[in-house]
Amino acid sequence: MTKILTEEQYHAAMERIEELLKIVDDSTPQDSKDSVELVLLSNLVADYEEEHYPIKNPSLIEVLKLRMFEMGLTQTSLAKKLGMNQSKISEIISGKCEPTLKQARKMSIELDIDPAIVLGI
């Protein structure tokens, strides 16, 4: 099999992977038939999932909310950290406006956000 073609094949491969995960561990030789089968099936499943269940890139709003949560920031403290006024942060988070290039650069650096996400590309 070079590609999983149907949802049924996908589910069958996932079931077999679950079985193999009970057998294969870090001490199993990489050239054992179970290890080889696990790697091959995992690659086939990954390819199928990439094609049929793609994961979209997060939006700036989603990433900002996540960073605020991770860093324990409110909109007011985020605005202070970025040197912006709170109403501008509120507008960006609500999707009413986009950051300027200067603001986007500051967000990327201060919050460690990929520039592509900040710029929406």
- In order of start, what are the domains of the chain with their CATH numbers? 7-52 (no CATH), 60-119 (1.10.260.40)
Residues 19 and 117: their CA atoms lie apart, in Å, by 38
DSSP-derived secondary structure for 41-103: HHHHHHHHHHHHSPPPPPPHHHHHHHHHHHHT--HHHHHHHHT--HHHHHHHHHTS----HHH
Mean pLDDT score of the chain: 93
Residues 109 and 121: their CA atoms lie apart, in Å, by 17
CA 73 to chain CA centroid, Å, is 22
pLDDT tens for residues 52-111?
999 888 899 999 999 999 999 999 999 999 999 999 999 999 999 999 999 999 999 999
